[in-house]
Amino acid sequence: MFLPFIENAFKYVSRDEKDNSVIRISITSEIEAITFECENSFEDVPAEAKGIGLENVKRRLDLLYKDAYELFIGNRDNVWRLN
């Protein structure tokens, strides 16, 4: 389930020599919950370069967990964050 998010982090991480390229991945497990966080610096990506991987994961989460999960995907200051 987490692999597409991790792959995207490495695929789209910033490779600009002037900036620090950053990828942070965290997985914690509690009795009734798993928390996954993934963030990466990025450069602007043309809209046509975006795939369907994230949409497929969202559909899979809906099928498996219906309303029993939370997913946030967003970006700020050239850092994508997912949790």
Helices 53-65 + 3-12 axis angle, to 10: 160
Mean pLDDT of 60-71: 91
Among 81, 71, 83, 59, residue whose Cα is nearest residue 12 = 81
Question: What is the pTM (predicted TM-score) of this model?
Answer: 0.78
**For residue range 39-54, what is the model confidence (pLDDT) as tens digits?**
998 876 645 556 677 7
* Per-residue confidence (pLDDT) for residue 49, from 0 to 100: 53
Whole-angstrom Cα distance, residue 15 to residue 7?
15
DSSP string, 16-66: -TTS---EEEEEEE-SS-EEEEEEEEB----GGG--SHHHHHHHHHHHHHT
Task: Tell me the average pLDDT of the chain.
Answer: 85
Residue 29 has pLDDT above 90, yes or no: yes
Output the pLDDT for position 16.
72
